[in-house]
């Protein structure tokens, strides 16, 4: 049985009390900056690796946006690069506050050996880089929790489309116009396994989906970022409205009973990305 890594190393852990003594919050660790709403940097994180059926490996990445409230955009390029082979290897350019786990993977060959893939983020003059590798100590159960047999949910973008599970992103594409709601459909299903170790046929599976912005030049407004999953069909529908024309990526995440990021474990959730080509209002 593999040991699951309960998230990447904690970053910036501080304890803040209401009282301030000598200009520093009581209980705050010396040399550690206090938490702030905005103006902080973003740290990439390596979640671990898992192997594909063909012998290749997926390196899983997330990040820690140190801001409590500020959403940060870092375009692909010198300040947001994955190497070698980059700078663009499918990483996000829009960063939500705090810790976000397992957003994308980089696939490396089965003879990868002791090589490294690095993700670098530069923000406010601070450069943060994380190396990714296939050290056996970082192997994760991304597709199945081997302790109880729980597996990642499946998603599709149409009733008969390709089915997918796990951190590696399933891709889809649609078009939209600024100011006009664009329909987003996803079909999700789950094995229903919980800590009971077997599905309970009388209970409704705990299955949720959530939409977020992954890349794009403008704001994205979801009618519901977590639409309800229909129990019979597995379909969940919402709309997204875009403020600016351009190319966007929207991320869809499906979670089972373990909740977002597998309750800080490495199983079980599933990722998908929808590329949205947005034209200006009235543009054909």
Write out pLDDT tens, residues 198-249: 555 555 568 999 999 999 999 999 999 999 999 899 999 999 999 999 999 9
Contact 117, 60 (CB under 8 A): no
- For 66-78, what is each residue's pLDDT tens digit? 999 999 999 999 9
Residue with the two structure tokens 């999700």: 188
- Residue 271: both structure tokens together: 């990722």
- For 171-192, what is each residue's pLDDT tens digit? 999 999 999 999 999 999 998 8
| Burial call 61-72: b when 16+ CB within 10 Å, e when fewer | bbbbbbbeeeeb
Give the angle subtended at the CA of 66 by the CAs of 97 and 252, to the nearest 5°: 30
Measured from the Cβ of residue 229, the count of other Cβ atoms closer than 10 Å reads 22
* Residue-level pLDDT at 70: 96
Ramachandran angles phi, psi of 136, nearest 5°: -55, -25
What is the spatial distance between Cα 149 and Cα 178, in angstroms, rounded to a whole number? 44
- Residue 163: both structure tokens together: 């089915």
Tell me the whole-structure pTM to 2 decimals.
0.84
Contact 72, 121 (CB under 8 A): no
Measured from the Cβ of residue 242, the count of other Cβ atoms closer than 10 Å reads 25
Contact 241, 181 (CB under 8 A): yes
Which one, of 83, 155, 158, lies nearest residue 117 by Cα? 83
Contact 152, 267 (CB under 8 A): yes
* Residue-level pLDDT at 171: 97
| Burial call 168-199: b when 16+ CB within 10 Å, e when fewer | bbbebebebbbeeebebbbbbbbbbbbeeeee
What is the spatial distance between Cα 218 and Cα 85, in angstroms, rounded to a whole number? 27
């Amino acid at each position: 049985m593999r040991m699951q890594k309960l998230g990447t190393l904690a970053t910036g852990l501080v304890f803040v009390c209401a009282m301030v003594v000598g200009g520093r919050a009581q209980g705050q660790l010396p040399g550690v900056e206090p938490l702030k709403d905005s103006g902080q940097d973003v740290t990439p994180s390596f979640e671990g690796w898992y192997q594909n059926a063909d012998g290749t490996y997926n390196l899983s990445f997330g990040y820690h946006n140190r801001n409590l409230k500020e959403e940060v955009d870092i375009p692909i390029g010198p300040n947001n690069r994955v190497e070698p082979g980059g700078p663009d290897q499918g990483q996000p350019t829009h960063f939500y506050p705090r810790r976000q786990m397992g957003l994308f993977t980089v696939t490396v060959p089965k003879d990868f050996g002791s090589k490294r893939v690095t993700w670098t983020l530069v923000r406010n003059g601070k450069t943060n880089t994380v190396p990714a590798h296939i050290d056996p100590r970082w192997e994760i159960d991304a597709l199945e929790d081997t302790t109880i047999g729980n597996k990642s949910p499946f998603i599709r973008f149409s009733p008969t489309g390709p089915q997918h599970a796990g951190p590696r992103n399933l891709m889809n594409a649609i078009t939209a116009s600024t100011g006009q709601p664009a329909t987003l459909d996803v079909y999700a299903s789950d094995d229903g396994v919980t800590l009971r170790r077997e599905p309970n046929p009388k209970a409704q599976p705990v299955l949720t989906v959530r939409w977020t912005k992954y890349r794009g030049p403008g704001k994205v407004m979801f009618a519901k970022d977590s639409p309800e999953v229909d129990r019979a069909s597995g379909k969940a529908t919402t709309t997204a409205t875009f403020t600016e024309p351009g190319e966007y990526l929207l991320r869809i995440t499906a979670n089972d009973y373990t909740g977002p990021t597998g309750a800080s474990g490495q199983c079980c959730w599933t990722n998908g990305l929808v590329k949205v080509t947005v034209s200006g209002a009235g543009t054909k």
